[in-house]
Amino acid sequence: MKKTFSILFFCLGVIAFSQQIESFTTILNDKISIRALELYDNKVWYSGTDSKFGFVDLKNHENQKQISLSDKKLQFRTLAQDNNAFYAINIESPANFFKINKKDLKSEIVFADTAKTAFYDALHFVNDKLAFTFSDADKDNLLKLAVYRNGKWGMFKNNVQLNSGEAAFAASNTNIASSKKFLWIATGGKASRILRMDLKKENLEVFETPFIQGEPSQGMYSIDFYDDKFGIAVGGDYTKQDENINNIATTHDAGKTWQTQASGKNAGYTTCVKIKPGSKGKEIIAVGDKHISYSSDFGKTWKKISDEKGFFVCSWVNGNTIVFGGNSRISVMKLKF
């Protein structure tokens, strides 16, 4: 696990765009699949398969620790944090909500969903006292949300009816996003829509999107918002990863309407998208099983900067550094501008 190596110009995709990539360093190797990352205390924290949870120090890669959250081999695809703790929910039933103390890394189960259909796709903190996570629906097909308020978890009552076959993808813990005013949830499958909550009124609205949809494997996989108005969504079809039609879209009106971008002119199926801090939405990184791509014009056009495979989730560390998690590893990319 502690072996660290640096790869420069490791494939043709990087060579073609080498003037922008300074380094690409793998800082964790392990038998794990990682689909959720958090940054805290200059460390990258992760949850994954086989009940694994841990961190790697971004300055000293040898400084790392991993613990097991359960004696059972649970799969974790969610991770979020408040000031004092991390939270992670295992997929599949029963869905246990784990709280991990930041000081001593001791964990406890603070909430549980025992429904047979429980499958939590994303977990997101709006602020230190408010968080939301959503699950595949029960038989009634109502939107299933759990909410964290002032230290306690409970179910969020609503009457939003999902379509048959409409759910979400636990691909990168990024199909929930928020601003000061709104919370957005992206669905996928036989229908791929945006659910928007006014955080003050706590009412939910549902908006259609032009995204590829209609099959269980299709739809939005990841969303990110710069402010109350501009946002981007990415996805596609995980069974046809090279297809690139109607798999990227942007909004300029807080999710009411969406405009397809780069249809037929992108690297295909994408699991995670993140707007560069301070760029006002102009610069964006995206990753899929087969590529890492970059946009410098609000998502209108994209350049594949790497053919590296096996990454599912990414997060900006700062203005020129991005961390990636995926199959068996965590890596850090530094870019030149």
pLDDT string in tens for the chain (337-residue length): 333 333 333 343 333 343 488 999 999 999 999 999 999 999 999 999 999 999 999 999 999 999 999 999 999 999 999 999 999 999 999 999 999 999 999 999 999 999 999 999 999 999 999 999 999 999 999 999 999 998 999 999 999 999 999 999 999 999 999 999 999 999 999 999 999 999 999 999 999 999 999 999 999 999 999 999 999 999 999 999 999 999 999 999 999 999 999 999 999 999 999 999 999 999 999 999 999 999 999 999 999 999 999 999 999 999 999 999 999 999 999 998 8
**Any idea which residue has 């900006």 for tokens?**
316
Block residue for tokens 């955080």: 199
HSE of 76, CA atoms in CB hemisphere, 13 A: 30
Among candidate residues 267, 275, 278, 265, the one with its CA nearest the CA of residue 242: 267
Q: How far is CA 58 from the centre of its chain?
A: 20
- Give residue 20's pLDDT: 82
Q: For position 19, what pLDDT does the model report?
A: 40
- CA dihedral (233, 237, 242, 248) in degrees, to 10, reads -20
The Cα 234–Cα 303 span in angstroms is 15
* Per-residue CA distances from 260 to 45, 155, 190, 232 (Å): 33, 34, 18, 10
**HSE-CB of 155 using CA atoms within 13 angstroms:** 14
3-state helix/strand/coil string of the chain: CCCCEEECCCCHHHHCCCCCEEEEEEEEEEEEEEEEEEEECCEEEEEECCCEEEEEECCCCCCEEEEECCCCCCCECCCEECCCEEEEEECCCCEEEEEEECCCCCEEEEEEECCCCCCEEEEEEEECCEEEEEECCCCCCECEEEEEECCEEEEECCCCECCCCEECCCCCCCCEEECCCEEEEECEECCCEEEEEECCCCEEEEEECCCCCCCCCEEEEEEEECCCCCEEEEEEECCCCCCCCCCEEEECCCCCCCEECCCCCCCCCCCEEEECCCCCCCCEEEEECCEEEEECCCCCCCEEEECCCCEEEEEEEECCEEEEEEEEEEEEEEECC
For 15, phi then psi, to 5°, come to: -60, -40
Furthest C-alpha separation in the chain? 53
pLDDT of residue 1: 38
Would you state the pLDDT for residue 166?
A: 97
Provide the pLDDT for residue 150: 85
Query: What is the pLDDT, as a whole number, of residue 294?
Result: 97
Place of tokens 């695809």: 77
Closest C-alpha to 254, from 151, 157, 184 = 184
Q: What is the pLDDT of residue 337?
A: 80
- What is the pTM for the complete model shown? 0.93
Neighbours of 114 (CB within 10 A): 9
How many angstroms separate the CA atoms of 120 and 135, rounded? Answer: 4
Which tokens hold the place of 320?
């020129």
